[in-house]
Amino acid sequence: MSYDFPFFMHEELGEIFQAHEKVTFQKGDFILEEGKTANEYYILEKGLARSFVNDFNGNEVTTHFFAENEIIIEVLSLFQRIPSQENIMCITDCECWKLDYNTFQDLFHKIPNLREWGRSWMSQQLFAYKQRSVEMFTLSATKRYLNLLEQKNKVIQLAPLKQIASYLGVTDTSLSRIRKELVSHSKKI
């Protein structure tokens, strides 16, 4: 559950849940486009989405995958109220729970435990992004692939090879080689 925080009271969670609106997206739909300002965040109930940027050569580079029960958000755009540099797109059909910015702000100021949850969630995200950043330089591509397989198996199952490769910082050819080597190695065991 996205609002996993031990200090929420039942009534607080009820009010938070009621503020969300169920929305669906089709495979290929943009949840947020570069240049637009985010006005909501989503809890992904079902499906898979990704965020990506276009590099200086115009190539798509996947920056994050959003799996079930995760929050789909572009933090900088939403909270700084500036246009997004990233795109967020559905890899599969997605079912989400949307919370708009103004409602979140109202609840954030009304429910102290939501503020504490927000601080906790944001620090976890900061840690995860920092760890990923360091691992891009300190781990082999094979180890990064195995970590993704362990942490977000749905990505390996559902995302196109090109998107996974760009997320891992390797070419499609390198990722194909890594996958073949891992299959070959597992058959020998």
Q: What is the pLDDT of residues 96-153, one digit of tens each?
A: 999 999 999 999 999 999 999 999 999 999 999 999 999 999 999 999 999 999 999 9
| pLDDT value for 83 | 98
Give me 49's structure tokens.
């989405």
Identify the burial level of 159 via C-beta atoms within 10 angstroms of its C-beta, where 0-12 means exposed, 13-18 middle and 19 or more buried: buried
Q: How far does CA 157 lie from the centroid of its chain?
A: 16
The CATH fold of domain 1-138:
Jelly Rolls (2.60.120)
CB 181 within 8 A of CB 79: no
For 39: left if phi > 0, alpha if psi spans -120 to 50, otherwise beta; the answer is: alpha
| pLDDT value for 5 | 85
| pLDDT value for 2 | 83
- Give the pTM: 0.91
Instruction: Locate the domains of the chain by residue range.
Output: 1-138, 139-188
| pLDDT value for 4 | 85
- Distance (Å, rounded) from C-alpha 68 to C-alpha 5? 18
Does residue 189 have a pLDDT over 60?
A: no
Does residue 1 have a pLDDT over 70?
A: no
Q: Which residue in 37, 146, 165 sits closest to 102, CA to CA?
A: 37
- Distance (Å, rounded) from C-alpha 38 to C-alpha 86? 10
